[in-house]
Amino acid sequence: MLTGVAVAGGFVLDAVFGDPAWLPHPVVWMGRCISALEKRLRAVLPKTPRGELLGGGIVAAVLPLATLAVTGTVCTLAARLHPLAGLAVQLFWCAQALAARGLVQESRNVYKELAKGDLPAARRAVARIVGRDTENLTAEGVTKAAVETVAENASDGVIAPLFYMLIGGAPLALTYKAINTMDSMLGYKNKEYLYFGRCAAKLDDAANWLPSRLAALLWVAAAALAGGSAKGAWCIWRRDRHNHASPNSAQTESACAGALGVQLAGPAYYFGAYYDKPTIGDALRPIEAEDILRADRMMYTESVLALIIGLAVRFALMM
Q: What is the pLDDT of residues 247-259, one digit of tens each?
A: 998 999 999 999 9
pLDDT, mean over the chain: 94
| CA 107-112-117 angle, 5° bins | 125
Assign 135 to helix, strand or coil: coil
Cα(291)–Cα(110) distance, rounded to whole angstroms?
Answer: 11
157: DSSP letter? I
Pairing of strands 268-270, 273-275: antiparallel
In this prediction, residue 244 has a pLDDT band, given cuts at 50, 70 and 90, of confident
User: What are phi and psi for residue 271, nearest 5 degrees?
Assistant: 55, 40
Q: What is the pLDDT of residues 14-58, one digit of tens each?
A: 999 998 888 889 999 999 999 999 999 999 999 999 999 999 999
pLDDT exceeds cutoff 90 at 133: no
Residues 212, 293, 232: CA angle, nearest 5 degrees: 55
Total number of residues shown for the chain: 319
Q: Smallest Cα–Cα separation from 161: which of 92, 128, 223, 208?
A: 208
Residues 6+ apart with CB under 8 A from 316: none
